[in-house]
Amino acid sequence: MQNVRVELGSRTYRIAIGPSLIANLGVECKNLNLGQKCAIVSDSNVSLIYGETVFKSLKSAGFDPVLITIPAGEISKNLSEVQSCYELLAHHRVERKSFIVALGGGVVGDLAGFLAATYLRGVPLVQVPTTLLAQVDSSVGGKVGVNLKAGKNLVGAFYQPRYVACDQSVFATLPDREYKAGLAEVIKYGIIYDRSFFVKIEQNIELLLKRDPVLLSEIVARCCQIKAEIVGQDETETGLRAILNFGHTIGHGLEAISGYGQWLHGEAISIGQIAAARLSARLLGFPQIEVDRIRSLFSRVGLPTHIALPASDRRRLLDAMNVDKKVVAGEIKFVLARTIGTVEFGHGVPEDLLMEIIETLHEQGLN
Ligand code: ADP
Ligand code: ZN
């Protein structure tokens, strides 16, 4: 087992990474000085596969768990689901010293985290992320929240968990598309922060696609470490934390114009990162050969690298980016790369160049 500490003063917490952590969850929670009662919040898929293991682990460590299951899918990440969960928490007499265990992917983590942040003005939270995306991204950093009809994650809070258990054995049941989408965030860490990590992924792609648990533990640990370092320096995104958004401006735009149904987040940011690399080549002298390496790695993983957008959709994509949160003083701000491993945030990009790059996205094999 490896440990990553997220240093946030009195809210410092530990992320444990390794196999068998789910079965040992109860024992680990014993050391956290929590109340006896706890609510496991999970979704209909994950609860069916792992609910019982987690329940028994907590029970045999002396806790008194209840299992609350929400329907699987992004559709559940809304305020009426939150309301139903509040009522269930109250019904089961979850009180201030009780804790909430978020067992699932990003959807469960965000919603259960929001419940923990707000129910009784805050109860302790333990995260047990079960998708690759959630283990390397949404479980670190404390962003919790739900969607509104007007947009994703528009209601939320910064709320840090007390403990995070990242168990790689749960990837055995993760659908292929979800797994690959998670790899898009993994590769992002190499591009924004650690060139040798990027190379390691390039060199181990076959093992990675076989979901080798030893390699995956190392990879998840490194991603958590990088995110923890970034978040530790800039918890609320006043500066540096923005580099985590590499590829996300265009990625979020693609998700928005497709009504959040067509692309998984990881797929959208795969295309977004390729576009950001091309923008970097035009504006910061990012080497063309590195643009090729990035595109080639996404392609080998089986992630989308191009997209056919009719002219009207290209305009809609630009408009969607304009309403995204990263617009400052009318200019769309981008995270751009100098080399693989070194990026800079806050670069304004002229709209005509952006349109030009979007146009390159429909051509397969073009850099
Ligand atoms: P994300 O973490 O990408 O935000 P979700 O929370 O929406 O994703 O989870 C994606 C899908 O994968 C959901 O249908 C969820 O129920 C399912 N899922 C999550 N973790 C696992 C797992 N370990 N095994 C099988 N299915 C899982
Ligand atoms: Zn992301």
Q: How far, in Å, from the CA of 106 to the mean position of ligand 1?
A: 7
The pLDDT value given to residue 221: 97
pTM for the whole thing?
0.94
Question: Which residue's CA lies nearest to atom 1 of ligand 1?
Answer: 106
Q: Which residues are 331's β-sheet partners? A: 328
- Choose which residue among 176, 178, 223, 252 to substitute to test ligand 1 binding: the one with the highest number of ligand atoms within 8 A of its C-beta: 178
Question: Which residue's CA lies nearest to atom 25 of ligand 1?
Answer: 174
Determine whether the shortest distance from the Cβ of 49 to ligand 1 is under 6 A: yes
The pLDDT value given to residue 367: 46
Q: How far, in Å, from the CA of 74 to the mean position of ligand 1?
A: 10
Determine whether the shortest distance from the Cβ of 173 to ligand 1 is under 6 A: yes
CA distance 115 to 100: 8
Question: Which residue's CA lies nearest to atom 6 of ligand 1?
Answer: 105
The pLDDT value given to residue 8: 86
Determine whether the shortest distance from the Cβ of 128 to ligand 1 is under 6 A: no
CA distance 334 to 177: 27
- Choose which residue among 22, 45, 50 to substitute to test ligand 1 binding: the one with the highest number of ligand atoms within 8 A of its C-beta: 45
The pLDDT value given to residue 262: 83
Domain boundaries, the chain: 2-172, 176-366
CATH class of 176-366: mainly alpha
Residue 203 tokens, joined: 């060199």
Question: Which residue's CA lies nearest to atom 5 of ligand 1?
Answer: 105
Fold of 2-172: Rossmann fold (3.40.50)
The pLDDT value given to residue 320: 87
CA of 288: how far to CAs of 170, 179, 283, 293, in Å?
38, 28, 12, 9
Confirm whether 245 is a catalytic residue.
Answer: yes
At CB < 8 A and 24+ separation, what contacts does 5-11 make?
A: 5/228, 6/140, 6/141, 6/160, 6/228, 6/231, 6/232, 7/228, 7/232, 8/142, 8/160, 8/231, 8/232, 8/235, 11/160
Instruction: List the chain pLDDT tens, one digit each, 367 residues.
Output: 999 999 888 999 999 999 889 999 999 999 999 999 999 999 999 999 999 999 999 999 999 999 999 999 999 999 999 999 999 999 999 999 999 999 999 999 999 999 999 999 999 999 999 999 999 997 788 999 999 988 888 999 999 999 999 999 999 999 999 999 999 999 999 999 999 999 999 999 999 999 998 999 999 999 999 999 998 888 787 889 999 999 999 999 999 898 767 899 999 999 999 999 999 999 999 999 999 999 999 999 999 999 988 888 998 999 888 765 555 566 788 999 999 999 999 999 988 999 999 999 886 654 4
Ligand showing the shortest atom-to-Cα distance for residue 223: 2
CA-closest candidate to residue 13, choices 33, 43, 27: 33
The pLDDT value given to residue 362: 83
